[in-house]
Structure 1
């Protein structure tokens, strides 16, 4: 987001940091609006921006693999709820949510918040509420969509959604619709489980696999 880049540039100027120094970090407060969540959030901006969940002394970053693993570790009814929510989001059936970066209000798009409290565990053994987790997801979806708009890369915002739909559907349900798609793009479904598969191939290669959205057929999920 341009606002994040602007704040990072201002921080560089304040501290006299050269533009070539990619190790310099800005920390930007992110505040959910219109909902009471149990955790706090900040953005760590270096060359890229990452949303961190702040829980006590922990600052936790969730990669796509962490997010998928977290969902796959949930009860089946929760897995299905997320899967259906992602399918709706792919079809532009989204919820608008509000958040602040420092003191400025922004609107994002994503999935709906869960209707009740539910504690979930992250890989870091951090205990959070399911809606803290959903806020992280929605921030990712909104950042991807904003990047699509800023760069005119058609359907860029759908890449992460496709990854979540197909991997969660395959490893939760073993459905042929997702198996066929993952085989087509070369994802290593020959591995026994998601964790093993995700560690067997570089993240950059996985990112490229899901970059061609034209080979994905959402009608198989409706």
Structure 2
């Protein structure tokens, strides 16, 4: 999944991005509100982390502008302000949660996971699709109770398709949500990942797990049965 980090402290921005990337997320960073708005409009992110004290365009104005432009992905506020009024103003502008600086990295990760689960209508991290079970926090997958080892890219590809089960997802959409801006969009890596997933999770094709929709992309065919 792809996240936007709008934070004007370069060291903190880099630290947050590093933490999220190590957890398998793709991240774009903006050091001011103007750039944050540009990126937030151009890309359909899965989540945005926005500091209230941004230069150029403050965080509250950035959130309001994104919502006015129908960018409805979850927003997590970062703030060094202690006043409850600032937090309320951020939430009323359209944010979904807030985190006060300084914060523990594990709390940031927990809130990111919770917001992403909520955005997909999930009450818990484990989601079942027939014999297949995803743990969206641990980023693991099991088939018929047996853990299957996937690379980070393989897991992210599977999770995005599964959480959009029944929809045709184009290679462009997969690329934009899963990978960094410098990802080779002309390569055949998406096909490679899909092939690996089929081989590892459904080697005999009995589940018809992921089908290719000619001219449209790929579709995950199992229905969600829990979580």
* Structure (1 or 2) with the greater helix fraction: 1
**Both structures adopt the same fold (TM-score exceeding 0.5):** no
Using the size of structure 2 for normalisation, the TM-score is: 0.28
Q: TM-score, normalised by structure 1?
A: 0.28
